[in-house]
């Protein structure tokens, strides 16, 4: 669907843009063609300023009063006229006192004066529909707000600034040039495309395909930055799982005792390792038990393995490898796995030798949480396992979203079909169709070609007021 058909309505939308609770300042935002007129109905200033008359991008002191003339809050009104605002519409932002009552009062006054409640993400949706940002940038905004590490923030900010969009648009333009030439040539009697020789065109298509492949390859890393890596610590009771969680967090988050079966519930906390966001999940030690509560805990431990991106399987070196360890190993052996041999501060040389024989050495890390030994190596191992020997700096562009990945894969598949068709000398018409499909898939990423469904889904991720 063309973007023009999705243009927003003419309503003035309003919302509280700051989180619920108390704070120094809270914001109420209005956007739409008549935003200044509506704001004027509730804004009074000692100097009798009318917001419809002030210069754009000025801050104006005054009060909000409801339509009955009752004062609600003392505010600063920031006026931004179209098109120089986030939504490209006339916008007023009231800086209010940051309590729920003043904020709700101001919002209600705005609604009574003719605005309507904004839907989640509707300000950003308008920014998109009015051409200020594309879809990649809109998603960059959500990712920036939700970023889980400074590296994730950096990636989201680059996306918001349009770096990835530029790159995708460049690839799209190359494809468009070819597609246009091909379509123009369809009416030519001989099967030739005037702007390109056979090998030139093949070469260009190949190089576009390589660029798509590079983006697709970056997505494994990229998605980890955006979503975080679910890292589950498992092992039999008492091996030191909760101690490791506490070490990572640098606080006594989980209860640690010498009693096996201390942890009963799944505990999940976010940490970062060299900018990679990891959700560390401490679980109940897995063993056969008749204890009702512990049983549920063990079941939860097993469940959390299902969605794990990485498993840290922990053993206690002082006990060697027990039957329980072997059973747990069978549950985790096909997962991305690091085997942690803990408590190496205890004297245990024989057991260590046995363990080395049983497991592949590159999966093993010998540690002592108690004496903080081997933990730097553990972090390095986690990083290199997740990153597959690469770092974020190895990729010029990182694909962080599933939606982008799918569209890139679709585009690449169509392009591959186009290349084979070209090489096989199949009719230009069919070749042109594949090219067009590759183009449409690429256009979905930036929002050049999208359906209303996709747009609804993206903006539903936002909060109200953004």
Rounded distance between C-alpha atoms, residue 108 and residue 113, angstroms = 8
DSSP letter, residue 265: S
201, 422 Cβ separation under 8 angstroms: yes
Residue 218 touches Mg ion, criterion: CB under 5 A:
no
Task: Give CA 291 to chain center in angstroms.
Answer: 40
Residue 242 touches ligand GTP, criterion: CB under 6 A:
yes
Reference 143, options 57, 227, 65; nearest CA is: 227
Residue 270 touches ligand GTP, criterion: CB under 6 A:
no
Return the number of the residue (32 or 285) whose C-beta is nearest ligand GTP.
285
Q: Of 241-249, 329-337, 354-362, 416-424, which segment contacts Mg ion by CB under 5 A?
A: 241-249
Options 62, 121, 140, 237; binder of ligand GTP; rule CB under 6 A: 237
Instruction: Say which entry of ligand GTP, Mg ion, none residue 75 contacts (CB below 5 to 8 A, set by partner kind).
Output: none
The residue number whose beta carbon is nearest to ligand GTP equals 285
Reference 89, options 17, 10, 142; nearest CA is: 10
In the bound complex, what is the minimum distance in angstroms from residue 319's beta carbon to ligand GTP?
11
Among positions 255-274, residues that touch Mg ion (CB under 5 A) are 262-263
Return the number of the residue (158 or 262) whose C-beta is nearest Mg ion.
262
Containing 282, the helix (H) or strand (E) segment is: strand 276-282
Q: How many angstroms separate the Cα of 53 from the Cα of each of 94, 100, 173, 408? A: 17, 30, 43, 48
Write the CB contacts of 253 (distance below 8 Å, at least 6 apart in sequence). Answer: 245, 246, 267, 269
Rounded distance between C-alpha atoms, residue 313 and residue 340, angstroms = 6
Reference 301, options 276, 268, 272; nearest CA is: 268
Options 19, 83, 131, 260; binder of ligand GTP; rule CB under 6 A: 260
Q: Of 111-119, 198-206, 239-247, 414-422, which segment contacts ligand GTP by CB under 6 A?
A: 239-247
Write the CB contacts of 13 (distance below 8 Å, at least 6 apart in sequence). Answer: 30, 31, 32, 115, 116, 117, 118, 119, 122, 123, 126
Residue 262 touches ligand GTP, criterion: CB under 6 A:
yes
Write the CB contacts of 307 (distance below 8 Å, at least 6 apart in sequence). Answer: 230
- How do beta strands 91-98 and 267-273 pair? unpaired
In the bound complex, what is the minimum distance in angstroms from residue 255's beta carbon to Mg ion?
7
Instruction: Say which entry of ligand GTP, Mg ion, none residue 240 contacts (CB below 5 to 8 A, set by partner kind).
Output: ligand GTP
Q: Of 71-79, 163-171, 179-187, 340-348, which segment contacts ligand GTP by CB under 6 A?
A: 340-348
Binding mask 350-369 for ligand GTP (x = CB under 6 A): ------------------xx
Options 163, 253, 370, 406; binder of ligand GTP; rule CB under 6 A: 370
Residue 193 touches ligand GTP, criterion: CB under 6 A:
no
Residue with tokens 């006990």: 319
Residue 174 touches ligand GTP, criterion: CB under 6 A:
no
DSSP letter, residue 31: E
In the bound complex, what is the minimum distance in angstroms from residue 8's beta carbon to ligand GTP?
53
43, 27 Cβ separation under 8 angstroms: no
Residue 283 touches Mg ion, criterion: CB under 5 A:
no
| Residue 392: cis peptide before it, omega within 30 degrees of 0 | no
Strand, coil or helix: 1: coil
Percent helix, strand, coil in the chain, to 5, is 50, 15, 35
Options 256, 267, 308, 407; binder of ligand GTP; rule CB under 6 A: 256
Residue 409 touches ligand GTP, criterion: CB under 6 A:
no
Return the number of the residue (20 or 260) whose C-beta is nearest ligand GTP.
260
In the bound complex, what is the minimum distance in angstroms from residue 244's beta carbon to ligand GTP?
7
Instruction: Say which entry of ligand GTP, Mg ion, none residue 267 contacts (CB below 5 to 8 A, set by partner kind).
Output: none
Q: Of 61-69, 233-241, 376-384, 390-398, which segment contacts ligand GTP by CB under 6 A?
A: 233-241
Binding mask 299-338 for ligand GTP (x = CB under 6 A): ----------------------------------------
DSSP letter, residue 317: G
282, 369 Cβ separation under 8 angstroms: no
Reference 422, options 258, 112, 179, 228; nearest CA is: 179
The token duo for 422 is 């070209």
Instruction: Say which entry of Mg ion, ligand GTP, none residue 232 contacts (CB below 5 to 8 A, set by partner kind).
Output: none
In the bound complex, what is the minimum distance in angstroms from residue 301's beta carbon to ligand GTP?
9
Return the number of the residue (205 or 305) whose C-beta is nearest ligand GTP.
305
363, 335 Cβ separation under 8 angstroms: no
Q: Which residues bind ligand GTP (CB under 6 A)?
A: 235, 237-243, 256-258, 260-263, 284-285, 342-343, 345-346, 368-370
Q: Which residues bind Mg ion (CB under 5 A)?
A: 241-242, 262-263
């Amino acid at each position: 669907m063309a973007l023009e058909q999705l243009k927003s309505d003419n309503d003035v939308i309003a919302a509280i843009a700051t989180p619920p609770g108390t704070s120094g300042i809270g914001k109420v935002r209005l956007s739409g063609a008549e935003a200044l007129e509506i704001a004027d109905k509730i804004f009074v200033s000692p100097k009798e300023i009318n917001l419809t008359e002030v210069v754009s991008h000025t801050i104006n002191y005054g009060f909000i009063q409801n339509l009955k003339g009752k004062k609600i809050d003392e505010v600063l009104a920031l006026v931004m006229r179209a098109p120089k605002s986030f939504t490209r519409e006339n916008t007023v932002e009231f800086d209010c006192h940051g309590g729920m009552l003043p904020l709700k009062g101001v919002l209600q006054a705005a609604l009574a004066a003719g605005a309507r409640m904004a839907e989640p993400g509707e300000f950003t949706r308008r920014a998109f529909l009015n051409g200020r940002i594309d879809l990649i940038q809109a998603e960059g905004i959500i990712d920036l707000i939700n970023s889980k590490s400074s590296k994730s923030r950096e990636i989201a900010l680059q996306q918001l600034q349009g770096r990835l969009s530029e790159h995708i648009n460049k690839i799209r333009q190359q494809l468009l040039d070819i597609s246009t030439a091909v379509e123009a040539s369809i009416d030519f009697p001989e099967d030739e495309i005037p702007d390109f020789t056979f090998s030139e065109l093949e070469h260009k298509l190949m190089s576009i395909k390589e660029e798509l492949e590079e983006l697709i390859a970056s997505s494994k890393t990229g998605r980890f930055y955006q979503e975080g890596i679910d890292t589950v610590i498992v092992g039999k009771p008492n091996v030191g799982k909760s101690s490791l969680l506490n070490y990572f967090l640098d606080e006594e988050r989980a209860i640690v005792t010498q009693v096996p079966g201390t942890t009963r519930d799944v505990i999940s906390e976010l940490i970062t390792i060299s900018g990679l966001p990891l959700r560390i999940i401490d679980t109940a030690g897995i063993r056969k038990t008749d204890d009702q509560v512990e049983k549920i805990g063990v079941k939860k431990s097993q469940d959390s393995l299902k969605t794990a991106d990485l498993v840290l399987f922990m053993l206690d070196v002082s006990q060697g490898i027990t039957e329980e360890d072997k059973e747990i190993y069978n549950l985790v052996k096909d997962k991305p796995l690091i085997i942690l041999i803990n408590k190496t501060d205890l004297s245990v040389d024989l057991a260590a030798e046995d363990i080395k024989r049983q497991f592949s050495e590159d999966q093993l890390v010998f540690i002592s949480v108690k004496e903080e030994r081997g933990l730097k190596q553990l972090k390095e191992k986690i990083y290199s396992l997740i990153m597959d020997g690469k770092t974020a700096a190895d990729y010029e562009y990182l694909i962080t979203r599933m939606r982008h990945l799918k569209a890139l894969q679709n585009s690449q598949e169509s392009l591959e079909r186009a290349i084979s068709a070209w090489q096989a000398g199949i009719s230009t018409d069919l070749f042109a169709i594949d090219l067009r499909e590759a183009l449409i898939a690429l256009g979905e990423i930036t929002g050049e070609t999208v359906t209303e469904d996709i747009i609804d889904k993206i903006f539903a991720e936002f909060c109200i007021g953004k």
